[in-house]
Amino acid sequence: MAGFGDLIGMVLQGGMAAKSAPNRLENALNKSGLGQSEGMLGQILGSLAGQTQSHQPGGAGGGMLGGLMDIAKDMLAGGGQRTSQNPLASGGLGALAGALFGGGSRSGGALKGAAIGIIASLAMQAFRNMNRKPRGSSMGFMDNELPLGARPPQNPQEEQELENTAAIILKAMINAAKADGHIDEKEMEKLLGKLKESGADPEMQQFVLQEMQKPLDLDELVRAIPDEAVAAQAYLAALFTIEVDTEAERQFLNELANRTGLDQGVVNQLHQMVGLA
pLDDT score for 163? 93
Which is nearest to 64 in space by CA: 109, 11, 112, 133? 112
Q: What is the DSSP letter of 108?
A: T
* pLDDT reading at 84 higher than 50: no
* pLDDT reading at 106 higher than 90: no
The more confident residue out of 37 and 253 is 253
Which is nearest to 108 in space by CA: 56, 69, 73? 69
Which is nearest to 35 in space by CA: 107, 121, 138? 121
Number of compact structural domains in the chain: 1
pLDDT digit string, tens, across residues 237-277: 999 999 999 999 999 999 999 999 999 999 999 999 999 97
pLDDT digit string, tens, across residues 131-145: 888 998 766 666 667
pLDDT score for 96? 66
Hey, what amino acid is at 45?
L
N- to C-terminal Cα separation, the chain: 39
* pLDDT reading at 175 higher than 60: yes
Domain containing 245: what range? Answer: 4-274
pLDDT digit string, tens, across residues 45-64: 666 555 544 444 433 333 33
